[in-house]
């Protein structure tokens, strides 16, 4: 592999793969319908090529630097540049497919395709093992035409990138495709294949090429492997293999849960579990300090194991258990659970029963919700860190957490250091305007409360079962000035006190919300037939089909009572 070469020459005659301990495909792609409204990695990738082809540039397009570990004759693992290389192969596959729809490929084009995509049964490029069959079927062979069975977020990204490029070529003519093929295949790049893995890892740590910036987790993984090469001694090979195996599992987990939680967030949560303190926050600084001490190998082994354990437990938490337990689903829907996750990781590690994990979720949900509504700058960590530190394998009962959260929620306002989240503060915080996502969450909970009244064995409706949940203002934000609109006149006090409050908010699906807009109240009222809170509004206005201050305040009082009783 030459140090300065072209893309077609770099790929020709070689087999390039993404090692299983590397992260999977992570470049984002705009949805087809919003392709012009969102700048993402694949969008920029395509736009750069289009701009180059429109220019009068005399020099070839440059794709940057690629770092490889040489594993055998013409066999290379890509250490740095795999996101760009994966995208190049996806792009070329869509290009060849579109060109083939016009006519048979020429001999020269067939050679280029064999050099860069596939020669008979030999695939030039392979992504991580758990996505590779999908990559072959959907991108290279194009035998899979649907999006069913995509188990990882990286697989979904591969499919989205392929569909995005396919759509981008839909209206392009043959000459455009020929020119684009020439641009990409003849684009220059630089390569650095190394046989010494420690050299490759060291270069990855300090190299900063175009593309997605490495996450803190990727940097720490590279630092761990490099330090093992330096200090591993006779254990070096087995330790490297152990780290690779653990990160293979970690990246599989990431591909399953990253749409719900960021990998660098899990890194910080693992730090808090590993060092038993909710105050831990800067993973890079903490770990670099520990790596600079004598013999960092024991720490590398123990912390890598902690990382793998955290990701394993969170895969279960955000996967099977979130699907089967409404308490977990509720906390995940609320979001903002940074303080809760370390407790949850510990609970799984200590083999607590699922009902205890659900109890932790409900406890933390109440305090997260209060914190968000009240908006205090006081920190909750200093109030519960001692409980967290005492939550150990030897003392793994959740009773101390129950007692502490209950104390925080019900303490007298005279206890100023504790009283930021008490009942009085909560009641004061929900009188007026509430942030939209939080208001949607509260109305979802209120809906389930209404539906469950007088019913045994009621199955709670999950938030993700609501089609694009929107927050509707029953009395519209923009006044409908027709006399028969049913809202009365909008005085200044009415605007300030009633338009944006819980009594005037309603949870609707997006299509329903869009269909009623600024219409008179009787039109809206006639459409309120689906959810329990819609029927509640019908009952409130049964005698007088208007929606005025009195009705809004009646409903607001009911919702506030529900919140105070349940949170």
Tens of pLDDT, residue by residue over 418-427, are 999 999 999 9
pLDDT at residue 255, as a whole number:
80
Residue 114 pLDDT exceeds 60: yes
Band of the pLDDT at 245, cuts 50, 70, 90? Answer: confident
> Are residues 191 and 266 both part of a single domain?
no
Is residue 339 a contact partner of residue 278, using CB atoms and an 8 Å limit? yes
Please tell me the least confidently modeled range out of 204-218, 385-399, 496-510.
Answer: 204-218
> Are residues 509 and 524 both part of a single domain?
yes
Does pTM surpass 0.85? no
Average pLDDT over residues 166-190: 95
Tokens linked to 350: 């200590």
Mean of all residue pLDDT scores within the chain = 90
Place of tokens 């330790």: 239
Q: Which residues form the domain of 226?
A: 215-309
Does residue 318 belong to any structural domain of this protein?
no
Band of the pLDDT at 401, cuts 50, 70, 90? Answer: very high
pLDDT at residue 2, as a whole number:
84
Please tell me the least confidently modeled range out of 143-147, 388-392, 400-404, 459-463.
Answer: 459-463
Tokens linked to 470: 């929107």
> Are residues 143 and 233 both part of a single domain?
no
> Are residues 45 and 146 both part of a single domain?
yes
Tokens linked to 498: 């009633």
Q: Closest Cα to residue 547, out of 496, 497, 499, 491?
A: 499
> Are residues 72 and 193 both part of a single domain?
yes
> Of residues 331 and 294, which shows the higher confidence score?
331
Average pLDDT over residues 542-555: 90
Tokens linked to 94: 């869509």
Backbone angles phi, psi at 39, to 5 degrees: -95, 120
Which of residues 274, 309, 344 is at a domain's end?
309
Residue 482 pLDDT exceeds 90: no
Does residue 320 belong to any structural domain of this protein?
no
User: Kindly report the CA angle at 311 between 307 and 313, in degrees rounded to 5?
Assistant: 115
Residue 210 pLDDT exceeds 50: no
Is residue 551 a contact partner of residue 540, using CB atoms and an 8 Å limit? yes
Burial 542-563 (b: 16+ CB within 10 A, else e): eeeebbbbebbeebbebbbebb
> Are residues 164 and 221 both part of a single domain?
no
The number of residues in the chain equals 567
Distance between CA 60 and CA 186 in Å, rounded? 7
Does residue 15 belong to any structural domain of this protein?
yes
pLDDT at residue 247, as a whole number:
86
The 10s digit of each residue's pLDDT in 55-80 is 888 899 999 889 898 888 899 999 88
SS (H, E, C) 405-426: HHHHHHCCCCCCCCHHHCHHHH
Backbone angles phi, psi at 329, to 5 degrees: -55, -40
The 10s digit of each residue's pLDDT in 215-233 is 899 888 888 888 888 888 8
| Centroid of chain to Cα 263 | 9
Q: Which residues contact 529 (CB under 8 A, 6 or more apart)?
A: 535, 538
Band of the pLDDT at 97, cuts 50, 70, 90? Answer: very high
Residue 126 pLDDT exceeds 90: yes
Band of the pLDDT at 307, cuts 50, 70, 90? Answer: very high
Which of residues 255, 279, 309 is at a domain's end?
309
Start-to-end CA span in the chain (Å): 63
Does residue 412 belong to any structural domain of this protein?
yes
> Are residues 417 and 450 both part of a single domain?
no
Give the count of domains, the chain. Answer: 4
Residue 35 pLDDT exceeds 50: no
Which of residues 309, 335, 350 is at a domain's end?
309
> Are residues 379 and 294 both part of a single domain?
no
Q: Closest Cα to residue 422, out of 460, 366, 464, 467?
A: 366
> Are residues 154 and 52 both part of a single domain?
yes
Distance between CA 446 and CA 558 in Å, rounded? 10
Does residue 226 belong to any structural domain of this protein?
yes
Tokens linked to 329: 């689903």
User: How much of the chain exceeds pLDDT 70, in percent?
Assistant: 95
> Are residues 18 and 157 both part of a single domain?
yes
| Centroid of chain to Cα 78 | 25
Does residue 493 belong to any structural domain of this protein?
yes
pLDDT at residue 460, as a whole number:
83
Q: Is 94 helix (H, G, I), strand (E, B) or coil?
A: helix
Average pLDDT over residues 239-255: 85
Place of tokens 């630089």: 190
Q: Closest Cα to residue 328, out of 318, 338, 336?
A: 318
Q: Sign of the C-alpha dihedral, residues 481, 483, 485, 486? A: positive
Band of the pLDDT at 199, cuts 50, 70, 90? Answer: low
> Are residues 57 and 154 both part of a single domain?
yes
pLDDT at residue 191, as a whole number:
92
The 10s digit of each residue's pLDDT in 367-391 is 999 999 999 889 999 999 999 999 9
Q: Is 37 helix (H, G, I), strand (E, B) or coil?
A: coil
SS (H, E, C) 218-252: HHHHHHHHHHHHHHCHHHHHHHHHHHHHHHHHHHH
Q: What is the DSSP letter of 537?
A: H
Does residue 208 belong to any structural domain of this protein?
no
Q: How many CB atoms lie within 10 A of CB 530?
A: 11
Does residue 176 belong to any structural domain of this protein?
yes
> Are residues 511 and 560 both part of a single domain?
yes
pLDDT at residue 208, as a whole number:
45
Q: How many CB atoms lie within 10 A of CB 406?
A: 12
Q: Closest Cα to residue 366, out of 396, 339, 405?
A: 405
């Amino acid at each position: 592999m030459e140090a300065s070469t072209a893309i077609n020459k770099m790929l020709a005659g070689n087999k390039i793969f993404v090692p299983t301990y590397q992260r999977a495909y992570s470049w984002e792609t705009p949805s087809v319908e919003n392709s012009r409204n969102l700048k993402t990695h694949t969008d920029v990738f395509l736009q750069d090529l289009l701009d180059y082809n429109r220019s009068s540039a005399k020099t070839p397009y440059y794709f940057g630097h690629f770092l490889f570990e040489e594993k055998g004759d013409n066999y290379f693992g890509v250490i740095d540049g795999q996101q760009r290389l994966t995208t190049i192969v996806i792009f070329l596959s869509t290009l060849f497919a579109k060109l083939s729809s016009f006519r048979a490929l020429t001999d020269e084009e067939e050679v280029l395709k064999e050099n860069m995509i596939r020669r008979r049964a030999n695939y030039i490029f392979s992504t991580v093992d758990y996505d590779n069959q999908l990559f072959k079927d959907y991108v290279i062979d194009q035998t899979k035409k649907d999006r069913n069975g995509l188990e990882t977020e990286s697989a979904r990204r591969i499919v989205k990138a392929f569909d995005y490029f396919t759509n981008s070529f839909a209206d392009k003519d043959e000459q455009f495709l020929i020119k684009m093929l020439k641009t990409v295949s003849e684009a220059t790049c630089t390569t650095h294949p190394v046989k010494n893995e420690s050299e490759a890892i060291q270069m990855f740590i300090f190299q900063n090429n175009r593309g997605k910036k490495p996450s803190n987790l990727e940097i720490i993984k590279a630092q761990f492997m490099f330090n093992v090469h330096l200090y591993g001694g006779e254990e070096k090979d087995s330790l490297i293999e152990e780290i690779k195996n653990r990160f293979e599992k970690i990246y599989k987990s990431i591909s399953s849960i990253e749409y719900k939680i960021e990998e660098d967030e899990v890194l910080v949560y693992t730090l808090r579990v590993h060092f038993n303190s909710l105050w831990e926050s800067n993973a890079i600084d903490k770990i670099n300090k520990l790596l600079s001490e004598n013999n960092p190998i024991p720490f590398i082994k123990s912390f890598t194991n902690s990382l793998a354990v955290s990701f394993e437990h969170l895969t279960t938490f955000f996967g099977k258990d979130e699907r089967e337990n409404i308490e977990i689903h509720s906390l995940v829907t609320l979001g903002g659970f940074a303080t809760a996750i370390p407790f949850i990781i510990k609970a799984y590690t200590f083999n607590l029963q699922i009902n205890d994990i659900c109890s932790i979720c409900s406890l933390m949900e109440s305090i997260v919700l209060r914190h968000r509504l009240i908006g205090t700058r006081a920190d909750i960590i200093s109030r519960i860190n001692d409980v967290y530190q005492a939550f150990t394998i030897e003392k793994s009962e959740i009773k101390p957490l129950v007692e502490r959260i209950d104390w925080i929620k019900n303490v007298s306002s005279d206890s100023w250091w504790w009283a930021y989240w008490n009942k009085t503060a909560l009641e004061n915080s929900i009188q007026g305007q509430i942030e939209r996502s939080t208001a949607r969450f509260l109305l979802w909970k209120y809906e389930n409360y209404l539906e469950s009244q007088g019913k045994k064995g009621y199955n709670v409706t999950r938030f993700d079962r609501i089609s694009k949940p929107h927050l509707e203002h029953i009395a519209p934000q923009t006044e409908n000035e027709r006399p028969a609109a049913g809202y009365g006149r909008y005085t200044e006090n009415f605007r300030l006190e009633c338009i944006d409050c819980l009594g005037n908010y309603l949870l609707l699906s997006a299509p329903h919300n869009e269909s009623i807009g600024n219409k008179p109240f009787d039109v809206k009222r006639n459409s309120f037939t689906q959810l329990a809170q819609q029927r509640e509004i019908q009952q409130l206005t049964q005698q007088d089909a208007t929606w005025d201050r009195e009705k809004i305040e009646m409903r607001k009082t009911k919702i506030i009572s529900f919140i105070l009783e349940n949170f």
